[in-house]
Structure 1
Amino acid sequence: MNRNQLHDQNLKLVLQQIFNNHPTSRIEISHQLNLNKSTVSSLYNTLMADGYLSELGLGDASTAGGRKPTLVAINQDYGYTLTFDLGYRHLHALATNLNGHIWQYDRIDTKGQTIHDMIDRINQYIAQLQETDTTSHGLLGICFSIHGIVNQNRVQTSPFIDMDGVDLEQVFSDRYQVPVVLENEANLSAIYERDFNGARQLNSTVTISIHRGIGAGVILHRDLFRGEHGDAGEIGQTILNVTTNDQGRLTPIRAEEISSEDAIIRQVEEQKGLDNLDRSDIVRLYRDHDTDLAVILQRATIAISSLIYNTMRTLDPDAFFLNSPLIEELPDLLTQIRAGYQKLAQNDVTIDLTTNARLATVLGGCSLITHKALALDGYELTFERPETSTPTEQ
C-alpha cells in the first residue's frame, strides 16, 4: 500500500471499531488495532470533523490510574437509511439511524397495487420522514428487498410483482442522489442472522425463508453467496418428486408447491372448498385440531426437512434458520421439522427459528445499506438486535 491507501484503510478500521464496540475510547481503539496513540488520535479527529462520531463524556480510568478516557460512539444524528421490502400484500418500511438503531417501522397495505403505485407510496413515505428529520445529513441510502432474483443490482425475475421494466436503482438514485441497493429477501434474512446475532459468530449458515414462496440465503465463511447469476438459494424450485402421465410426459413436484405458506393455504382451500383464507385461518384450524390441515402440514414439514437435509449435504453449514411467520406462530411445526431431519440425517445440526421474522428482512437491508453509507463494504459490522417488533399499519 502507498501512504494514502494505508491511511484510508486505518480510517475505516477505526470507524469499524467504534461501530462494533460503542461506547469505546481512543486508547481502547489503539489497543485493539495495535496502532500508536498519535495515529489513532489523528484518524479519530478526521472522523469527528466529518461528523461521524459523538462524544459521550468521560469513562473510568484504568487500574493504573491516569486520565479518564473520552467515550465515543457513532453519531446517530448524522443521518438515516431506509429499507423497503416489496411484499405481495404489504410494503414494509424501515428507517434506521446511522448506528443501526430503529427510528421508524411501518407496514403499509399494498395488495393489488402496481409497482408504479408502490413507487408513489414510497416517495410519499420519504417525504413524510423528511418533514420530521432533524439529522445533519438526512437520507444516506436506500435498500430494496426483492422477492425474486437480483443480479448486479437489477431485478431479473419477480414472480409476485410485475416490475414493468422499472429500474429501481436509477429511479431512486436519480431522485434522492444516494446509494440504492437491491437484494433478494432471503439473502437479507441471512445477513440479519450474521450481523444482528454477533454472539454466535457462526461461520457458515443457511436461512430458509418460507413465505409466498421458498428461498434460502447462504452465508459461506461469513460472506453472502449469491452464485454467478444471483440464482443461489432458489431451493423452493428443488424437485422432490416427478410424476409421469400416459404420454410419458414428466411433471416435477417442487418444494414450494407443497411447503410454502401460500401452498399450504391453497391446499386447505382446495380440500375444504373455501376461498380467501390467510395465515390466521391456518392458525385457527391448527388450534382446533383440524385433521385435513394436519395431513397437509405433515407433508409440508417433511418437505422442509428434506430441503434442509439436501442443503446440509451440499453446503455443510454450521446452522440453519427458518424465517417463517407461520412457524413462528405454530412452533410445534419446528419440532416436527427437527424430528424429520433427525430421521434422515441422524446428526445434531442446529435448526432454529429466526426471531422477529417480520423485521428480519428489513434489518438485513439496514446492514447492507449502512455498510454502503459508511463506505465499509467488506468490513464486518455488528448490530444490536431489537428486543421486540411493534409494526404499525397504514
Structure 2
Amino acid sequence: MVQRSMNRNQLHDQNLSFVLQQIFNNHPTSRIEISHQLSLNKSTISSLYNTLMAAGYLRELGLGEASTAGGRKPTLVEINRDYGYTVTFDLGYRHLHALVTFLDGHVWKYDRIETQGQSIHEMLDQIKQYLDDRDQESTTSHGLLGICFSIHGIVMDNQVQTSPFIEMADVDLEQVFTTAYQVPVVLENEANLAAVYERDFNGARDLNSTVTVSIHRGIGAGIILKRDLFRGEHGDAGEIGQTVVSIAQDGAGNPHPVHAEDISSEDAIIQEIEDKKGLASLDRAGVVALYEKHDMDTIAVLTQFTTAIGGLIYNLMRSLDPDAFFLNSPLVEEIPDLLTQIRGVYQRLAQNDVPINLTQNARLATVLGGCSLITHRVLGLDHYELNFERPSADETA
C-alpha cells in the first residue's frame, strides 16, 4: 500500500489521509473498522485518530454494537459537521446560485439571487454580502473554510480564460477572495463540476469513465476518465458546443462555421421557436407549454435538437468510449420524451447500449460538484475519492 521510498513523515501523512477518507466515506465508523479496512494495526490507527480528533475534524457518537465474537463495544465516529462550512457560487447569466455545505458535505443553505444585467463588480458585492451574512449566522467552530466558483467558460490554472456570458473585466476571483477571506478558493468550469457531481454524489461511483453533457445557454461536456476530471492541456477539453457541425457560406461565398451550440443550445432552441412563431421573450416554460399543446413548429425544432444531441453523443462515444453518458439539461428534465428520442438517435447510429441517463437534481448539479471539489481541497484530500450523499428535497428547498 505504501511505496518503500517514503520517509517516516510522508508515511504518517498518507496514513492520516487514508483514515480521514475512511471516516468521511463510511460514517459512522469505528477505529476497529478502520483498522480492518486499511490493514493497519490498532495502535497506529489510534494515534492517527487522536490527531484528527485533536484537530476537531471528528465527532464521537457513542457506542456501537459489539462484534459477534464479543468484546468491548466500539466508539462510533463521523466527520464533525460543526467544524466549519464551504460555499459554492455558480455565476450564471441570470442568477447567482449559492450553496453552503458543512464539512461533511451536508447542505446548510441554498439560495438563488437575481443578477441579470449586473456587472461583475455588482455581483462581487452580492457575493461578499452573502458570505458576510453566513458568517453572522454560523455557529460552527471555524466558520468559512473555502470557496468554489462555477464558471460558464474556460478555466485553466484557477483563472478564467474565457467567459462568454459574463464580462469578467480582468477580475481575478482567486486573488480577490483569498485576500478577503484567507481561505482556499477554487475555480472550475460548470460542465466539469456537473461531471464531478455525477461521480461523487449521483450513483456513478462504480463507473470509471463518464461524460456529462450540459445543455444551457451553451453546450459543454464534463469528462471523467479513469475516475479523474480531464481538462485537456489548456482547459479546452469538453468545449463541445464549439464543435463545427456544418460549413455555411455568406453572401460573398466565404465559409462560415456552424457550431453545435448555434443550433442545439437552449438559447438556440428558444430563438428558433420565437422566429417561427413570431414571439418575443419566450423562456423554457413557454417552450414546454407549446410542446404540451402539440405545437408543430415546436415539435419540429425539438426533433432537430434531439437528432443533433444524439449525433453529438455518438461522436463523443467514438472519441472517448466512456462507460455512460449523463445529460444535464433542465429542458430535457421537463420534457422526458426528449431523452427517449435522443437515446433512439444514438442507438440507431452506434448500435450499442451505452447508457444515456438524465442528471438527477440538475438544478444543483454544478454547485454540488463544487461542494465536492472545495471539500476535497479543505481536507487536503485532492487525489482521494470521497463519496457524498445526495441531499434531500428539504435540504435544498
2:3 maps to none
Q: 1:364 to 1:389 in 2, by over 3 A?
A: farther
Other structure's SS at 1:271 match: helix
Cα displacement (A) at 1:155: 0.3
Deviation at 1:273, TM superposition (A): 1.6
Given the alignment, which residue of 6, 9, 13 partners 1:4? 9
How big is the shift at 1:199? 6.3
Structure 2 partner of 1:18: 23
Instruction: Determine the C-alpha separation between the residues in 2 that align with 1:298 and 1:62.
Output: 59
Of the candidates 271, 288, 291, which is equivalent to residue 286 of structure 1? Answer: 291
Contact 2:109 2:395 in 1 (8 A): no
- Deviations along 1:290-320, one digit per CA (max 9) or x if unpaired, are 1001110011111100110000000000000
User: Which one-letter code corresponds to 1:214 in the other structure?
Assistant: I
Q: Is 2:186 the partner of 1:181?
A: yes
Deviation digits for residues 196-222 of structure 1 (CA, Å, limit 9, x no counterpart): 135641000000000000000000000
| Structure 2: distance between partners of 1:24 and 1:106 | 33
Q: Which residue of 1 aligns with 2:39?
A: 34
How big is each residue's C-alpha offset from its partner over 1:132-169, in whole Å with a ceiling of 9 and x where there is no partner? 10000000000000000000000000000000010000
2: CA distance between counterparts of 1:174 and 1:384?
32
**AA aligned opposite 1:81:** T
Please give the secondary structure, in 2, of the residue aligned with 1:144. strand
Partner of 1:125: 130
What is the distance in 2 between the residues matched to 1:253 and 1:154? 28
1:91 is matched with which residue: 73, 96, 107?
96
SS in 1 for 2:81: coil
User: Which stretch of structure 1 is more off in the superposition, 310-319 or 252-261?
Assistant: 252-261
Q: Is the aligned partner of 1:267 residue 2:272?
A: yes
Q: In the alignment, what sits opposite 1:138? A: 143
Quote the residue 1:342 is aligned against: 347
User: Which of 224, 232, 239 does residue 234 from structure 1 map onto?
Assistant: 239
Q: Distance in 2 between matches of 1:238 and 1:213?
A: 12
| Structure 1 stretches of at least 4 aligned residues deviating more than 4 Å after TM superposition | 389-392
Q: Do residues 372 (structure 1) and 388 (structure 2) align?
A: no
Q: Which residue of 1 aligns with 2:206?
A: 201
Q: 2: CA distance between counterparts of 1:389 and 1:215?
A: 30
1:308–1:341: 8 Å Cα contact kept in structure 2?
Answer: yes
| Aligned match for 1:310, one of 304, 307, 315 | 315
CA 292–198 in structure 1, closer or farther in 2 if over 3 Å, else same: closer
Cα distance between partner residues in 2 of 1:71 and 1:183: 35
| Corresponding position: 1:104 with 2:103 | no
CA 1:241 to 1:331, structure 2 compared with 1: closer, same or farther past 3 Å? Answer: same
| 1:375 to 1:390, Cα distance in 2 relative to 1, 3 A | closer
- Which residue identity lines up with residue 247 of structure 2 in the other structure? V
State the secondary structure of the residue aligned to 1:27. helix
State the partner residue of 1:50.
55
User: Letter of the aligned partner of 1:158 in structure 2?
Assistant: S
Pick aligned residue for 2:160 from 136, 151, 155: 155
Task: Between 378-387 and 155-164, report the one with greater CA deviation.
Answer: 378-387
Separation in structure 2 between the aligned mates of residue 364 and residue 87 of structure 1, nearest angstrom: 15
Shift of 1:346: 1.0
Percent of aligned pairs sharing the same letter: 73
Counterparts of residues 382-393 of structure 1 (less than 5 Å): 382-388=387-393
Give secondary structure in 1 for the equivalent of 2:145. strand
Q: Name stretches of at least 5 consecutive residues in structure 2 with no aligned partner.
A: 1-5
Q: How does 1:62-81 map to 2 (within 5 A)?
A: 62-81=67-86
The amino acid of 1:70's aligned partner reads T
Distance in 2 of aligned mates of 1:235 and 1:279:
22
Letter in 2 for 1:275: A
CA contact (8 A) 1:96 1:103 kept: yes
Aligned 8 A contact 1:239 1:252 in 2? yes
Query: Aligned letter for 1:68?
Result: K
Checking the alignment, whether the CA contact within 8 Å between 2:202 and 2:360 is kept in structure 1 is no
Give secondary structure in 1 for the equivalent of 2:83: coil
Cα deviation code 1:226-256 (max 9, x no counterpart): 0001000000111111123464311211111
Give the 3-state SS of the residue equivalent to 2:29 in structure 1: coil
Cα distance change on mapping 1:49 and 1:187 into 2, 3 Å: same
Query: Displacement, 1:270?
Result: 1.1
Residues 115 and 391 (structure 1), Cα distance of their counterparts in 2 relative to 1, 3 Å cut:
farther
CA separation of 1:200/1:6 partners in 2, compared to 1, >3 Å: closer, same or farther? closer
- Provide the residue aligned with 1:243 in structure 2: 248
**Structure 1's 245 and 110: CA in aligned 2 closer, same or farther, altered over 3 A?**
closer
What corresponds to 1:190 in structure 2?
A: 195
In structure 2, what is the equivalent of residue 256 of structure 1? Answer: 261
Separation in 2, partners of 1:337, 1:389: 32
